[in-house]
Every structure is written in structure tokens, then in C-alpha cells.
Amino acid sequence: MIAFYSSIASILSLTRRAAVAGIVTTALLTPAMAQTPSPASKTATVMDYVTYSNLRIARISPDGKFLALVVPRDDKESLMIVDAATMESKAGFDTRVNNKINNLYWANEERIVFDTVYNASDWDQLYTDGEIYAINVDNTKKFVIARPRSGEPYLYSIADTLDDDHDHILLKRWDLGNKSQVRSRPSILKVDIYKEPKDLISDRLTPGNAGEESFGPFSWGDIYTDNNGNIRLATATSEEGKLQVKIRQNDQWQEISNFLDTDKDIGANLGQPLGFNRNNDGIYFLSVSPQGTVGVSLFDIASREIKLLYADDKYDVSPRNLVRSTDGKDLIGVTIMGERPERHYFADNADVALQKSLDKALPGYYIDFINFTQDGRKGLALVSSPTVPPALFLLNRDTGSFKPLFSSRPKLQGTPMTKAEQLTIDTRDGTKVDAYLTKAAGVQGPAPLVVLIHGGPHGIRDEADFDPEVKLLASRGYSVLQVNYRGSGGYGVSFQKAGYRHWGTTMIDDIIDATRYVADKGLVKADQICAMGASYGGYAAMMAIARYPDQFKCGIGISGVYDLNLMRKSDVPFFPGGKDYLERVIGSDEKDLDTNSPVKLASAIKVPVFLAHGGEDKRAPVQNAEAFKKALDAAHVKYEWLYVPSGGHGFTLPANREKLYTDVLTFLGKNLH
């Protein structure tokens, strides 16, 4: 069984903050998690902050005897299978150069299956390669169980590990043809994980270890199994951006989209199934609550009735923050990310009592369980706080222990960390927006400010969690302001929609109002402020310094959109519903798009600019930055330029990240004094 939104193969550099646990004591956390500043501590390097975790994936075996750990190794990754009691290495696997392990599962007590992704031609972005591997804990029977032959237009991923069948798993296969995965029809195959496919059968090039192929009802999208491994559900996004959902009953696919909240104006999460309930007679999904926030509901398949399980008055439920039972078959609660994480429970499940004991013992910590043993007595968890990097812990409910195993960023141990303070800002029209202010570490009194603007922009929000980018800036003497401007996700339907077609106006005004608030209160140095962001954040940073040139000393744009008319040439229109999405959120009037594009406002910019972009960026094609550079040249605006020919939308390769943030800090040092 694989949950639709699960913590399987959880990446340690990210934190979902779901929580299920046994009884523990705070004292057990203290030795490993304390971050007490030490005067003798060596200043952490840029790479200590911005490199990815030294432990990316961790999974405990069904019997609790072994751990599967994935660690970076220069330009590849290594899977290590270790004895859970002694940490002695038992088996291993090294990926090819520029490859990473993507999803990893225990198929049974002795065998692991996983898939991989790769950096094509050293591009600074990851691509699915469609290969599925398997390995035993004794380092035997290590081989590929599914792989497209050279020239074949197929991709594979793991669909279900089949709890009651230890010799087989279900694989999804996409027949790409001349299309991408998002426009390809998925099918499901049952595959023998102990049989190496040395040959291929049938004219459909089915792997030789596979059974009959089953297809979903849509031309693209996804298909899902229930807790018993039966193909039961299918979803797809139409060209109009509408989420379509069908349930399989008596071998017939039945449309249920009209029963669910699938408002295309909110995005793919709304109405998206979150998994089946324990009895497979209901489907969890996200819905709009009577108070206008996104909550979690249960859809009864037989009666077609919907029951709202939980919704907050202010904050949305996120699929990242679901609390499941130890076996993953029940949804028992949610974590709401407000001023502090708050967990709310709505299920009659024994794990709720255990979870509440953990909440009481560890206030202020995020506990994200990755997986449990089959009997539910042992589990792996990530533990972190706004000032503590995620660390891997082993829970033993029989002994009541919560044992630290690894820190995701051990080189930050002992480094002073400052906590983000949540602020509520009254904007110029009376709308309230939340913001987070992280003060510069080791600085007494006001410090220079970096206004760090999140990307997205819709459906995304900043939270008061451990953010390595924020902590890096704070460690170098800069306070950091993050604003959840209108259009951000997480604050209800109306709040997100309020940003549509206001990318360069109301959304920027919210950022400015929050910036002025902290400046006027004397919380930061009012004459030493720089705007910074990536993707939409890069766009917003440039719009902010163009529209409010007297507010800032500099601007930093990373992988930014600087000409809104070029959005039609990005990869967004290629996705199902992509054209409709752009029409909703920015419109198509070329004159209006020009008015709200930094490339047309370069002459209004009076401060130095830093631009960073990748040549292989599909979301914000490099033509954005090239056109903006020409406009800055024509306006005689000073700027610095970092170009990575192989870079994608963002910088993922460690060397590129180190260069980016080193240059950013140098630029800030020259412009904020």
C-alpha cells in the first residue's frame, strides 16, 4: 500500500510535519537536538546551509531489523542497508553519475524496491528515467526489474507494494509516444520483484516479469489503488483546468467529480483524493469549508455523501500536513501551520492518544513520521523546530524511547539560530496579511533587511519552519522578512483569489506595506533594505524596486519572470489546464501584461540589481533575463549577472548553489552597509 500523499521516501531537507507516535519524554530529545550557541563554534560555511541534507531518505524495515538510508556521494547517491541495532552495513547500491534515488519502499522484510531520477547532461534539474531497481538485505538479487529499452517511450514508477503479496508490486507505466508524462495515459502492471526481466513479451513491450496491463479511463492523469491493491480511482485535469475524478465499481468507471470540490480557481489540491479510508468505502479529499478555508472531508462511495472532518477558521489544511495512523490506513488528524504548529484530531483511533502524549511532551517541535514497522511498535521520524534542523529519530513504543540517529545538517550543530516572529500586518486597504521576521543572529538592535519573497505565487506560503536560506542570511547579519501576500495559499479561497491578475499591483503593495511596518517600528534598518526572490519572487523583487525605488538599496532576482507576455512561451501552457490557469491569474491583454512587467519598468529602477538564471529554465525561459538585461543596459542601471548554461528553474547542483549564494552574499555586502 502507498498513500496518495505519504511520507514514504521522505526527503530530510524538507519537513511535512505530520505526526503519529508513542509516549516519549522531552529529556530524550535534549542531547541530540539542543542547538546551544558556543563562543568557540566555527562559523558555518555557505555550503553547510544550502547543500542538501547529508541523509536524504530513511526507511525502517517491516520487522524493524534494518534501516534503508540514502546519502549523497559527490555526483551520485548511495543506498545503504544497515542493521537497526548495530548500524553495521549489510548491503549497498550506488547510482550512476548524476542520478538520484527518488522513491524507496520495503516490499517485504528482505527486499527493497526504488526508482531513480537523473540530471540530464548535468542540467540543473531532475528528470524521471523510468527505471525500477530491487535489492535484498544480504546484498543479493540486485538488479533492475523494469527499464525502458533504448528508444522506447516508456516511464515506470511504483504504484503499490501490495501488503499481502510479498513477491510482487504494482508498477505504473506511461506510454509517452511524442508526449510528456503529464499528457500520457498511465497503465498498471503487476511485476515479480524476484525475476529479472531478461526478455520482453508482446507487441506492447511489456517487461518479461510482468502480468496483464490495466488502463485508467482518462487520456492522461493518474490512477490509484485502494488499501487492498485494487485499481479504484483515476484523476485528470482537463484543458479547462477542471479536476476530473472517477471511481471504479463493478469494473465500471463512474464520474464523481460533481460530488467533490474541484474549483479550478484554487488549483490541483482542491478535490484531489488523499487516499482511501481503512474499509475502502470512503475517500479522503480536500474541500472548501463553510468558513471559506480548505479543510479535509470524507466522501462515502456508496451514498455519495460528504462529511467535513476538520477545517480551521483561518488556515487551510495542506496535504503535506496530514496525520495518519501508524499503518497509514486511517487519516486521524491534521497539523495546522499557524503562529505555531497545532494538531487537531477527528478520528476514533488508538493512535490519537499516543499522538497527544507526544504533542504534550514535545511542544514547539515538528514531528514527521516517515514509516513504521508492520506491527506499529517502531517508527522513524524527523524532528525539527524553527531553530533546529531536521534530525532522524527512532521511536520504540515498547521501551518508550525516542533515540536520535542522524542530524540532517550536523555541521550546523552549535550554530546560533534565531526564531521567526509572526507579524500580522494591516495593509493600506485594511486587509490583514501575515509575515515572518527572522532577526539577524548575534546582532544587537536593528540590522539590514532582506525581504525574501516566496515563489508560486498561488498555493504557496511561507511558514515559521527551519528554512536554511533564511538561516544563512540571518547568520551573515541580515534580518529576513517573509510576507504571505494576497494570492498566497494557506489562508482560504478568497485570500488566494484576491491575488489573481494582481501580480504587479496588490500583491506587491502587500509586500511593501509589511516592509514599511517593520521599518517604521524600528525593527530593522529602514535605509538598508534589499528585495530578493526566486521565480515569482524574482519578479516581485524587481517590481518592488521599480514601483518603490526609494524603499530599497538593491534587488535580487533568481530564475525570475520579467516579461509576463513570455509566460505563454514557458512550459505552463503545455500542462493540461495550463493555458486556462494563465488566463485566470495574469490574463492575456498584452498592454496590461506590459504595464506589469519589470522589463518595461527598467527606467524606474534606481538601485543595483543582481540576476541569476539558468539556460535550461522551462518555467521562466532565459529570454526573460536576457530581455531584462537589455532594458537595464538601456536605462543605465548597474547589475551583476550569474548565468548557468545548464541551470533549470532554480539551482539544484551543489556547486551551482554554492556559487549562487556566495555571489548573493557578496552583492548584499556591497549594497547593504
3-state SS string over 131-176?
A: EEEEEECCCCCCEEEECCCCCCCEEEEEEECCCCCCCEEEEEEEEC
What is the C-alpha to C-alpha distance for residues 670 and 665, in angstroms, rounded to an integer?
9
What does pTM read for this prediction? Answer: 0.89
HEC readout, 201-230: ECCCCEECCEEEEEECCCCCCEEEECCCCC
The side-by-side arrangement of strands in the sheet containing 143-146 is 99-106, 111-118, 127-136, 143-146
All structural domains of the chain: 26-32+52-412 (2.130.10.120), 420-671 (3.40.50.1820)
DSSP structure string for 17-49: ---------GGGTHHHH-----TTPPPPPHHHH
End-to-end, the C-alpha distance of the chain in Å comes to 55
pLDDT digits (tens, 9 = 90+) for 194-203: 998 765 433 3
What is the C-alpha to C-alpha distance for residues 621 and 503, in angstroms, rounded to an integer?
18
Q: Are 116 and 130 in contact (CB under 8 A)?
A: no
The confidence band for 572, taking pLDDT boundaries of 50, 70 and 90, is confident
525-544: average pLDDT: 96
Helices (H) and strands (E) in the chain, counts: 11, 37
pLDDT digits (tens, 9 = 90+) for 62-106: 999 999 999 988 778 999 999 999 999 999 999 988 888 999 999
pLDDT of residue 36: 33
pLDDT digits (tens, 9 = 90+) for 445-488: 999 999 999 999 998 999 988 999 999 999 999 999 999 999 99
What is the C-alpha to C-alpha distance for residues 458 and 499, in angstroms, rounded to an integer?
8
| 355 φ, ψ (degrees, to nearest 5) | -65, -40
What is the C-alpha to C-alpha distance for residues 233 and 223, in angstroms, rounded to an integer?
6
Query: Quick check: 112 pLDDT over 50?
Result: yes
pLDDT of residue 207: 55
Q: Which helix (H) or strand (E) holds 101?
A: strand 99-106
Q: Which residue has the cell 493540461?
A: 576
What is the C-alpha to C-alpha distance for residues 528 and 609, in angstroms, rounded to an integer?
15
Alpha-carbon separation of residue 29 from 214, 229, 440, 655 (angstroms): 48, 38, 27, 34
| Angle (nearest 5°) at CA 95 between 93 and 99 | 155
634-650: average pLDDT: 90
Q: Which set of grid coordinates corresponds to residue 665? A: 552574499
pLDDT of residue 117: 85
What is the C-alpha to C-alpha distance for residues 388 and 409, in angstroms, rounded to an integer?
9
